[in-house]
Amino acid sequence: MSRPDVSDTEQAARLVGLGLRGRQAPDRDLVYRDLVLRYQQDEVFAASVSAIADGLGLTVLDVTRRSGIVLAAQAGSAFEIRIDEYARQAKHRERPDTEKLLHGIAHLAVAALSFPRPDDLANDQYVGRVSVESVDLVVRETCRLLEERANRDSVNADPSAEEPELERAWRAYQRRHEVASTKDNRRNSDSTRGMVSRALRWLVERGLLQAMGEEGDEAFRTTSRYQIHVRQLASQAAFRELLDLGVVPPSTGGGLDIATDPQI
Amino acid sequence: MIDDDLSVRRWMKLVETRHRRRPPRTEMSPFDHAELALENGRKAEHAGRLDEALQNLRVAAREGVGDSLLLLSGLLVRTKRYAEALDWALLAEAEGFCEAVDLVARCRTALGVSFPERPTESSPADQAPIAPPAITVTQRQELPAAPGRGIGSTASADLGLTRRLKALACTVPLHELDHHKAKLERIDAAVYQMAEIAMHIIDQVTIAMDFDTGVVHEVVEDRVTPFVASQAPDRGAPEHRRVARWVLEKLINVGPGGRVFRHVYGEIDADGTYQRHTFDFKLIREVAGVKGEIYLRATDEAINVLVGALDTDVESAQVAAEVKLDNLINRGQLEDARIAAEQARYRTVQYGEMLRHKLDATRRNVRVVDWEHELPEMLDRALAHVEGRCKVEHAILRNITEARDGSEDPGHKLRAAELVDIVTDCIRRHTQLQSRLQSARSVFREEQDRQQFSGPPQRAALDLHGQLLRPLLELPVSEAVAPLDTFFRLASGVCPPDVMALPALVSMLLRPVADRSATAGPVIVPEVDPVPDHRRFTDEHRRRAAALLDLGEEICDLGSLLREAADFDDDLPVLVALRAAHAYSPGIGAAVVHGHDRVLLAVPAGWPIDPTFPGVTGDDLLLTTAKVVDAAADQPGTVLKESA
C-alpha cells in the first residue's frame, strides 16, 4: 500500500493558512512568496489550494505578489463574520436594526471614500486614503443632500411617528451625534465618528487597511487585498441585492460611465 | 417691532399722499385718485364705516398705493371675507409686506376649515359692483387677482401651523429645565432660573462660534458661572459651576436619549387624515475640531429660538434686522440698537454656518456636488450677500461713529462704542466669509483636473458612492440592513475563529498594559430584571376581599365570610380576617379625606370563631358597612351614622 504524497497538500494548506493571517505579505515572507509563485505557475497546485479552501468554507478570490492569497468566507462558514455579531452591543434604546445599519453604513462609506471613482476601484495600483473625519463628513453631506431633496419633493418630510420602521436610513444617520464626550473626557463610541473609527481599526486588524502617520492622526491607506474584496465581491453582491429590492441605482453621469453589474 | 414698522410706513405714506395731492380734478391721475381713496378708506375705517372703507381701499389697492393692500386684506379678514382677502394678501406678500404672510396663513386656515370649496359665491358683498366715490377714472374691470391662485391647499396653510409647532417644540427643553431642576441632587435648585441660564449658554456658544471652531465645554462653563452666581450669591462656587454644567448637559441632551430632542406633532395631510410626525432637533451639538478636540456649536434651531424669529428665512430676517437697526440709530435709541445689532450678528453667524457646510462638501468630492448649476449659483448669491451686507454695515458704522463722537451723554457714548465693536465684528466675519468664497472655484478646478482627466478606465467597476451608498441611504432602515450586511460580510475578509493555546494565552497575559484608548467603550445600558413580587396577597386577592366585604346594608358574621373566602384559596381568608380586624376601629378620618362613601364596621359577636381556618383565631365579629356623612356639611359631632 503506497502512502499518498501529502507534501503538496501540506503546501497548499499552508498557503490557505497564510491567507487567514491578514497581516502576512509575500514581500515580507520568502515561504509565502514561493507559494504564491507556485500557485501562479502550477495549475495542479492551484486546484488543490482551491479545493482545500473550498472545503474549509473559503473562496480564493485572487493570488498576487502584492496581496498574497485573498480569501473570502462562504456563507455559513466558520470564518464568516456577520454584522449582527459586529454590532452586538448592550443597547436597547434604538431598534437593533438601526445599530446594524449605522455600522454597515460606516463600512460602506469607508470603501466609498477609499475608492471615490470607479476608475480608482478598477486600478490595481491605486492606493486610497481615508480618515475618520472625511468618512463621516461625506456621509453627512450625502444625508444633507437627500434631506434637501426630500424637503423639496414633499410637503412634510418629517418621518411619521406611527411607522418608525419606515424611517429612511439617511435620517437615522443624520440624527445620530457625530461626536460626544464622555464624563472622563473621552470619545463616545456611540457617535458616528466612533463607529467609523471602529470600522477603520477593525479593518486594520484584518490587514485590509494600514494606519499611516502618527497614531492620533487616524489616517489610513488601503491595501490591495481590501480593493480586491470590495471590487470583486462586496460591491457586486450588495449591488445585486439593491437591484433585487427594485432600487435602480443611477448611473454616475459624465464621460466615465462604467458598466454596472457583469452578471446582468 | 412689526407694529412700529407698520405705523412708520403708514405715516410716511400718509405724508407722501398729502404732499402730492393736487386740487384740480381734471389733472388727477389714477395714482392720485388711488391715494385719495386710500386716505378716505383709512378715515372711514377709523370711523367704523367698514363698507365705505372697503370700497375705498379696493380702489387704492388696485393701484397698489402705500400699504393699501395690507389694510384691505386686514379689513377683509376682519369682516370674514377670506377668499377675497387671500387674493389681496397674496398680492401684498408679493409686494414685499412681510406682515401679509400671516394674513395669508389666516385666510387659508379659515378657508380650509369653514369653506371646503372656493367660496366666491358665498360672500355676496364681494360680488357687489364697486362704485368708487364721485370721481371716476379709468379702472380695470377685473380684480387683479387671478382666480384659483393659491387657494384650497390646506396643506400649505397647515405649513404655517407646522412651523409654529416646531418652533414651539424648540422651546420645550428650556421649560423642562425648570420643571426638572429638583433632580439636581443635593442642591436646592429653587433659586436658579434654569431657562435663563440656558438662554445665556446658547448666547455664549453662539457668540463664540466661528467658521471653523466652536467653544469647548470648560470655556462655556467659565463664562456662564458668573451669571449663575448672580442668581444665588450666597451659594458656593462649586455649586454654581455644577448648575452651569447641568444646564449645558441638558441642552446637549446627554443621556440614553441619544443627544437629540424628539417631538411628536400631527398635521392634516393632503388627503385629509391626521398624521403624526416626529421632529428631531438639537440645540447645542458637539463637533470635532481639526485636531480631534470636541467643540460645542449652537444649531440653527437654537439660534432661531434665541433670536426670536422662529423658523424664518435667514436672508430676509437679516435684512429686517438691519433696517430696524438703521431706524433705531436715526431715532437715537441706542439701547435697542445694541440688541438689534447683536441679532444681526447672530444672523451673520448663521449664514456663515450654512455656507461652511456647502463649501466643505465642495472641497471633499467634486462629483457629489452639482457644479453646473447649484454651486455657481450658490457662490454668486453668497458673494452678493456679503457685498450687500458689507455696504450696509459700513454705512451703519459711519452713522454710529458719528453718533458716538457727536454725543455729549457719556452713557450714550458708551453704548455707541459697544455698537461700533459689534458692527466691526460683523464686518470681520463677512470678510472672512468672502475670502472662503473666492477660493472655492480654484478648489473645484484642481479637483477636476485630478479626478476627471486622468486617463481612460481600465475595467468595469461600480461607483461606490453613487451606486451603492446613496441609494442605500435612501432606503427605509429595515430594507437597507440586508444589503449592508452583505457588503460588510464580504468586504471585511475572513475572521479566523479564536483558538486558545497556552503560549498565546501566556503572552496575552504578560502583554504590557496598552495606553488608554481615546474612544470610550460602549455604553452599557444594564438590562434590569423586574422586581419580584413578594407580597403575600395579589391584586386578585384584594379584589375578591373587597367584593366579599362589600356588604351594603346587611349584617354578616366573619365566620360565614371566611367560609366563602376559603373556596378561593388559603390566603384569602387571612386577608378577609385582617380587614375585618381593622374594621373594629375604622379609620373614619381617612375615609372622609379620601372621599369614600362607605366604611366597614365590626363589633364582637360574643362567641369564638370557627377554628377550622388556619391563622385566624379569637372572637367572631359581626360586620356591616356604614355610610360616611361629611360632618361639616351635616350636623357637627355626628361623624358617622349607622345605616343598618
- Is some CB atom of chain A closer than 8 A to the CB atom of B273? no
Tell me which residue of A156, A121, A149 sits closest to A232, measured CA to CA.
Answer: A121
The most confident of the ranges B298-307, B408-417, B469-478 is: B469-478
Where is B109: in which H helix or E strand? helix B99-114
Q: Report how far residue B325's alpha carbon sits from residue B328's, in angstroms, rounded to the nearest whole number.
A: 5
Q: Is B18 inside a domain boundary?
A: yes
Is residue B341 one of the residues assigned to a domain? Answer: yes
Say if residue B113's pLDDT is above 50.
no
Q: Same domain, yes or no, for B320 and B292?
A: no
Same domain, B356 and B303: no
Buried b (16+ CB within 10 A) or exposed e, B514-525: eeeeebbeeeee
Among B288, B307, B326, the domain boundary falls at B307
Contact call for residues B285 and B252 (beta carbons, < 8 A): yes
**pLDDT score, position B615:** 72
Q: Are residues A104 and A63 in the same domain?
A: no
Q: Say whether both A119 and A19 belong to one domain.
A: no
Do residue A67 and residue A99 come from a single domain?
Answer: no
Cell 502584492 -> residue: A66
Torsion of CA B589, B595, B596, B599, to 10 degrees: 20
CA B222 – CA B226 distance, rounded (Å)? 8
Interhelix angle A192-205/A96-114, nearest 10 degrees = 60
What's the pLDDT tens digit per position in B291-300?
667 888 888 7
Evaluate whether residue A199 is within a structural domain: yes
pLDDT at position A105 over 90: yes
* Lowest-confidence region among B155-164, B222-231, B372-381: B155-164
Of B260, B365, B518, the CB nearest to A186: B518
Across B186-197, average pLDDT: 84
d(CA A108, CA A247): 17
Q: Is position B531 within any domain?
A: no
Please tell me whether residues A162 and A35 are part of one structural domain.
Answer: no
Across the interface, whether the CB atoms of B361 and A141 are under 8 A apart is answered yes
Res B554 pLDDT > 70: yes
The Cβ of residue B442 has, within 10 Å, a number of other Cβ atoms equal to 9
**Segments of A94-205 assigned E as strands:** 129-131
Cβ atoms of B623 and B571 closer than 8 Å:
no
Q: For residues A45 and A174, state if they share a domain.
A: no
Residue A203 lies in a domain: yes
Question: Which of A172, A105, A103 has the alpha carbon at shortest distance from B470?
Answer: A105
Q: Which of residues 192-231 of B touch A (CB under 8 A)?
A: 217
- B15 and B98 belong to one structural domain: yes
Beta strand B598-608 with B274-281: parallel, antiparallel or unpaired?
Answer: unpaired
Among residues B447, B471, B506, which one ends one of the domains?
B447
Q: Are residues A200 and A117 in the same domain?
A: yes
Mutual angle of helices B410-452 and B334-364, in 10-degree steps: 10
Whether A209 is in a domain gets the answer yes
Contacts A178 to B, Cβ<8 Å: 285-288
Binary contact (A245, B269; C-beta < 8 A): no
User: Does B89 map to a domain?
Assistant: yes
- Res. B136 pLDDT band, cuts 50 70 90: very low
Q: Pick the residue with more confidence: B220 or B7?
A: B220
> Is the pLDDT confidence value at A49 over 90?
yes
Q: How many domains does chain B have?
A: 4
pLDDT for B643 equals 41
Label residue A102 exposed, middle or buried (CB < 10 Å: 0-12, 13-18, 19+): buried
| B113 shares its domain with B188 | no
> Chain B contact for A109, CB < 8 A?
yes
Contacts of A23 in chain B (CB under 8 A): none
Asked whether residue B123 carries a pLDDT value surpassing 60, the answer given is: no
pLDDT score for A108: 93
Question: B285 and A58 in contact by Cβ < 8 A?
Answer: no
Tell me, rounded to whole angstroms, the distance of Cα B255 from its chain centroid.
20
Residues A63, A111 share a domain: no
The per-residue pLDDT of chain A, averaged, comes to 81
Least confident window among A2-16, B12-26, B252-266, B457-471: B12-26
Provide the pairing of β-strand A68-73 with A129-131: unpaired
Phi-psi region of A218 (alpha: psi -120 to 50; beta: other; left: phi over 0): left
In this prediction, residue B347 has a pLDDT band, given cuts at 50, 70 and 90, of: low
Last residue of a domain, one of A21, A45, A73: A73
B500 within some domain: no
- Quote the CA–CA distance of B272 and B249 in Å, as a whole number: 40
Same domain, yes or no, for A101 and A42?
no
The stretch B305-328 carries a mean pLDDT of: 54
Greater pLDDT, B532 or A33: A33
Q: Which helix (H) or strand (E) holds B601?
A: strand B598-608
Same domain, B13 and B128: yes
In a domain, B514, yes or no: no
Same domain, A222 and A104: yes
B164: which residues sit within 8 A by CB, 6+ positions away? Answer: B310, B311
State pLDDT tens for residues A106-122: 999 999 888 877 778 88
**pLDDT for the residue numbered B434:** 80
Residue A45 forms part of a structural domain: yes
Range of the domain at A58: 7-73
What is the length of chain A? 264
Q: By C-alpha distance, which of B259, B262, B243, B260 is closest to B201?
A: B243
Helix (H) or strand (E) holding B262: strand B261-268
Burial of residue A113 (number of CB atoms within 10 Å: 0-12, 13-18, 19+):
buried
pLDDT recorded at residue A107: 93
Model confidence at A3, in pLDDT bands (50, 70, 90)?
low
- Note whether B277 and B182 are same-domain residues: yes
B524 lies in a domain?
no
* pLDDT for residue B346 is more than 90: no
pLDDT at B203 over 70: yes
pLDDT of A221-248, one tens digit each? 898 889 998 988 888 888 888 888 887 6
**pLDDT higher than 60, residue B635:** no
pLDDT top residue among B401 and B460:
B401
**Record: contact A83-B489, CB cut-off 8 A:** yes
Which range of residues forms the domain containing residue B364?
Answer: 314-447
Mean pLDDT across chain B: 71
* B497: contact with A, CB 8 A cutoff: yes
Identify the sign of the CA torsion B300, B303, B307, B310: positive
In a domain? residue A82: no
CA distances (Å), B482 to each of A242, A262, B84, B376, in order? 9, 21, 55, 38
Per-residue pLDDT, B348: 62
State whether residue B459 sits within 8 Å of chain A by CB: yes
Measure CA of the first residue to CA of the last residue in chain A; give whole Å.
52
Q: Report pLDDT digits (tens) over A160-205.
A: 777 777 788 888 888 888 887 776 666 777 788 888 988 998 898 8
C-beta of residue B487 within 8 angstroms of C-beta of residue A238: yes
Q: What is the CATH number of the domain that holds B16?
A: 1.25.40
Q: What is the pLDDT of residue A37?
A: 92
Q: Report the alpha-carbon distance of residue A218 to residue A110 in Å, rounded.
A: 13
Total number of domains constituting chain A: 2
Interface mutation target, options A61, A94, A119, chain B, most CBs of B under 10 Å: A119
Is there a single domain that holds both residue B175 and residue B203? yes
Q: Outline where B232-313 has alpha helix (H).
A: 237-252, 300-307
Same-domain pairing of B141 and B174: no
Q: What is the mean pLDDT of residues B462-473?
A: 85
Output B566 or A13, whichever has higher pLDDT: A13
* Stretch 30-49 of chain A: residues touching chain B, C-beta under 8 Å: none
In this complex, is the C-beta atom of A87 within 8 Å of any C-beta atom belonging to chain B? no
- Measured CA to CA, the distance from residue A111 to residue A216 in angstroms comes to 21
pTM given for the model: 0.57
- Among B492, B495, B523, B478, which residue's Cα sits nearest to residue A89? B523
Instruction: Identify the domain boundary among B277, B307, B337.
Output: B307
Chain segment B80-106, per-residue pLDDT in tens: 777 777 777 777 766 656 566 666 766
Q: A249 lies in a domain? A: no
Q: Which residues contact B521 (CB under 8 A, 6 or more apart)?
A: A189
Longest dimension (CA), chain B: 120
Residue B165 sits in the same domain as residue B293 = yes
Contact A190 B258 (CB under 8 A): yes
**Residue A83 domain-assigned?**
no
Q: Is A180 left (phi over 0), alpha (psi -120 to 50) or beta?
A: beta
- Residue A90 has a CB neighbour count (10 Å cut-off) of 10
User: Which residue, B594, B551, B605, is CA-closest to B576?
Assistant: B551
Touching check for A208 and chain B: CB below 8 Å? Answer: yes
- Residue A79: inside a domain, yes or no? no
pLDDT of residue B500 exceeding 80: no
**Res A150 pLDDT > 90:** no
Size of interface A-B (CB pairs under 8 A): 357
Residues B90 and B178 in one domain: no
The residue ranges of DSSP E strands in chain A, in sequence order, are 58-64, 68-73, 129-131, 209-212, 219-222
Q: Name every residue whose Cβ is closer than 8 Å to that of residue B559 and which is 6 or more positions away in sequence.
A: B609, B610, B620
pLDDT at residue B637, as a whole number: 42
User: What is the average pLDDT across B459-463?
Assistant: 72
In percent, how much of chain B has pLDDT > 70? 65
Q: Do A146 and B486 touch (CB under 8 A)?
A: no
Q: What is the mean pLDDT of residues B585-606?
A: 80
Partner residues linked to B519 by β-bridges? A187
Q: What are phi and psi of B609, to 5 degrees?
A: -80, 150
The answer on B394 and B290 residing in a single domain is: no
The pLDDT confidence band at residue A38, using thresholds 50, 70 and 90, is very high
The pLDDT of residue B42 is above 90: no
Residues B197 and B134 in one domain: no
Q: Is the pLDDT of residue A83 over 80?
A: yes
Residues A182 and A56 in one domain: no
B526 in a structural domain: no
Q: Which residue has the higher pLDDT, A231 or B136?
A: A231
Q: How far apart are CA B336 and CA B325, in angstroms?
A: 8
Are A60 and A130 found together in one domain?
no
The answer on A117 and A54 residing in a single domain is no
